[in-house]
Structure 1
Amino acid sequence: MIVAITELRIRSIWMFPLFMARSAAAVSQAQKEKGLLSFSAKVRWNVAYTLTSWTDENSMLVYKKNGAHKRAMKDTKKVSHQYRSVYYEAETVPSWKEALQRLEHLHYKFT
């Protein structure tokens, strides 16, 4: 299985409505993807996290590069000033604590 973890820091309160609209559409898309095993998200006012698991890397990449998720990624520079993500093979879905620890070791990408 593939586990994907993302963190996105929302640029300002004015971008929050756009972020929520794009996120809702991307979540709806994810829930319809045949390779999705699990989906979880946490949003605190200016930081959003996702934790997903997929049957295989191709299923994850098909989701990432198409539809609502692709449109959301095009708006990343508008919505966010920093983000980071990682994906890897795993036997089990990590806890949120473990997932956030994995992100801590990554550098932010700046938009």
Structure 2
Amino acid sequence: MQQELATRYPLVLVPGMLGFVRAVLYPYWFGIVPALRKGGAQVFAVQVSPLHCSEVRGEQLLMIIEDICQRTGADKVNLIGHSQGALDARYAAAKRPARVASVTS
């Protein structure tokens, strides 16, 4: 396995409003997840409520982050948020900075 895209902490991809992991045959992060994994990154495409405010979605994201940290043994995650997912990621980082290494929006 290549390692040029490996990061110290897992990458968590947070979708925007109406976001999904996969709709029928079309993945939300089309091509990104497999490319990152092929490069050695540990990647999690997650799903939060599609039509709630960023506080609700951010709290859901915090629970997902805790689960990912427990499953991987990582202390933190890197959050990558698209559209409203960026606001959710910022909310999570502000509420639990010890669990978030970075936010990219």
Task: Using structure 2 for the length normalisation, give the TM-score.
Answer: 0.35
Greater helix content? 1
